[in-house]
Structure 1
Amino acid sequence: MHLHDDIHNYYEKMLLEEIINRKLYDQYNDDVMADLCCTVLNQLPSRYIRSDIDMAFYLSTTERVHMQQRVATAIDVAISQVAKKASINE
């Protein structure tokens, strides 16, 4: 069975936006970033969608802000767990 290529977790998009905003790729190598992303996404609920446009239409401003806050908090936790551990191992 093959799922449609457009199906994705909306939190992945939000995570990437926050990574860009924080310029985390400038601070961590690819291995740390991969671990960081996995750690963040494992803290968040799944929110699978087919189209970002549909999500933008149906998502209230309050819910979007709440989701952004969850992503920011999950990134902070992941940095404290993954990035600090990686710097110790270097």
Structure 2
Amino acid sequence: MPNINNYYERLVVDQLWNMVQKSKEPLTQDFIDDVACLALNRLPSCYVRSIVDKSSYITDQIYQEMENAVTEAIKQAIEQVQLNPRGQRN
């Protein structure tokens, strides 16, 4: 099996981890997982063999654009999960 990763997964996980650390309310693992999946579905894929290699080949501007896209995707995913919580889904 190839050793590849979606670079956006790392960006989403990092931002969600920071969000969890700063949150005053406990966030369930289901909530975090749902937000991660929905956010990743809103983002393009960016497969890499090494996350470190990818980081060294992109400009600061492109990295910031990717971070901004991740922030927006997470924001929209949170809104979607809050509108349709897991316990209320059919």
TM-score range, shorter chain: 0.7 to 0.9
Between Structure 1 and Structure 2, how many residues are aligned?
86
Q: Which runs of 5+ in 2 are unaligned?
A: none
Paired residue for 1:22, among 7, 19, 23?
Answer: 19
Give the deviation of 1:55 after TM superposition. Answer: 0.5
Give percent identity, aligned residues only. Answer: 31
Matches of residues 21-60 of structure 1 in structure 2 within 5 Å?
21-23=18-20, 27-60=26-59
Counterparts of 2:82 and 2:27 in 1: how far apart (Å)?
8
Tell me the C-alpha RMSD between the 2 structures.
2.1
In 2, the alpha carbon distance for the partners of 1:87 and 1:7 equals 31
Q: 1:27 to 1:18 in 2, by over 3 A?
A: same
Q: Which contiguous aligned blocks of 4+ residues in structure 1 show a shift greater than 4 angstroms?
A: none
Aligned pair 1:12/2:9, yes or no? yes
Which stretches in structure 1 are left out of the alignment for 5+ residues? none
Contact 1:35 1:82 in 2 (8 A): yes
TM-score (norm 1): 0.83
Q: Normalising by the residue count of structure 2, what TM-score does the alignment of the two structures yield?
A: 0.83
